[in-house]
Structure 1
Amino acid sequence: MSGDPLLPAIGDDEAPFWEAAAKGELRIQQCANCERLRFPPRSMCPWCQSLESRWALMSGRGRLYSFVVPHPPLLPAFSDLAPYNVILVSLEEDATIRLIGNLVNRAGDAINAVDPSSIELDQPVQVVFEDLTDEIHMPRWVRSAPAQTSSS
């Protein structure tokens, strides 16, 4: 465990996300009516107002959309980890779906293990999961090779 001082609260809308993470899967809520992906999860689709949804399996691949290195940390609980990165990842399946996390070298690394000067926008990343508690398997991100495209 990397010593995360804060853990997310798990409500009814978020529970399937964390259950999938415990299995090493990245799943995003999808409207059963209009089929649009949505994150963060919520009870009602913001586009068609349907109350029906499912959880779509994602590839776990994305691109680093943005990042910040807090100086000093905003919360005292993070002071021993500074400097650390907080990244925003656009998913491969839908670039409008963005998840917040940390860039690490491998699962289990501390959130300050990556040199902030080595972080570049638009880097391809892949999700990994760190088991923080029995319920919380935190998505983290590692650098990955660009997805292969077939040439015609």
Structure 2
Amino acid sequence: MTDSDIGYLTPVIDEDGAPFWQYAARGQLRIQACASCDELRFPPRPCCPRCRSFDSTWRRMSGRGRIWSYVLPHPPLLPGYAEQAPYNAVVVELADAPRIRLVGNVVAAADAPLDSVDPELLSVGAPVRVAFTAASGGVTVPRWLLER
């Protein structure tokens, strides 16, 4: 991640991860899978850690998961984030791939500010679903909505 012009962290897109961000821009959550042994892997990388194949595909996920862990950063280190405190940073375990975990934020709506969810509503195991929003630099990022 790098600092953007507004003080937020934005993804650095490399060759291996580029398809993840391209699918996100289309509103799809896809995870890299080995085309030889079907092992899912995240973060994306060129070689399968199980069978060492360099062949891969991108499997569409349901977009559902659960909060595996979360934190309310205090104090936020970047000015752009400090203005939205208290906000959350979560690790989400995907429902269709429990060994795959993504980092993000739980928000009230895809384009809502980072502080849009009361921290009291967060708990480990809480069900969430993905939503996508445009970030700076033309990148679309996944965020998470609480399922009620």
The question of a shared fold, defined as TM-score above 0.5 by the shorter chain, is answered with: yes
Give the Å deviation of 1:144: 1.6
Over 3 Å counting, the alpha-carbon distance change for 1:14 and 1:83 in structure 2 is same
Q: Which amino acid aligns with 1:24?
A: G
Paired AA for residue 103 in structure 2: I
Mapped contact 1:18–1:135 kept (Cα < 8 A): no
Note the aligned Cα RMSD (angstroms).
1.5
**Counterpart of 2:118?**
115
Alpha carbons of structure 1 residues 135 and 47: separation in structure 2 relative to 1, 3 Å: farther
- The correspondence for 1:79, drawn from 69, 79, 82, is 82
Q: Structure 2 counterpart of 1:19, which letter?
A: Q
TM-score normalised by the chain length of structure 2:
0.91
- CA distance in 1 between counterparts of 2:95 and 2:144 reads 13
Determine the structure 2 residue equivalent to 1:36: 39
Identity of aligned residues (%): 48
Judge conservation of contact 1:21–1:129 (CA < 8 Å) in 2: yes
Q: Shift in Å at residue 134 of structure 1?
A: 6.4
Is 81-90 or 131-140 further displaced after alignment?
131-140
Kept after mapping to 1: 8 A contact 2:10/2:136: no
* Unpaired segments ≥5 residues, structure 2: 1-5
| Alpha-carbon distance change, 91 to 113 in structure 1, aligned in 2, over 3 angstroms | same
Structure 1 spans left out of the alignment, 5+ residues:
146-152
Q: Tell me what 2:104 maps to.
A: 101
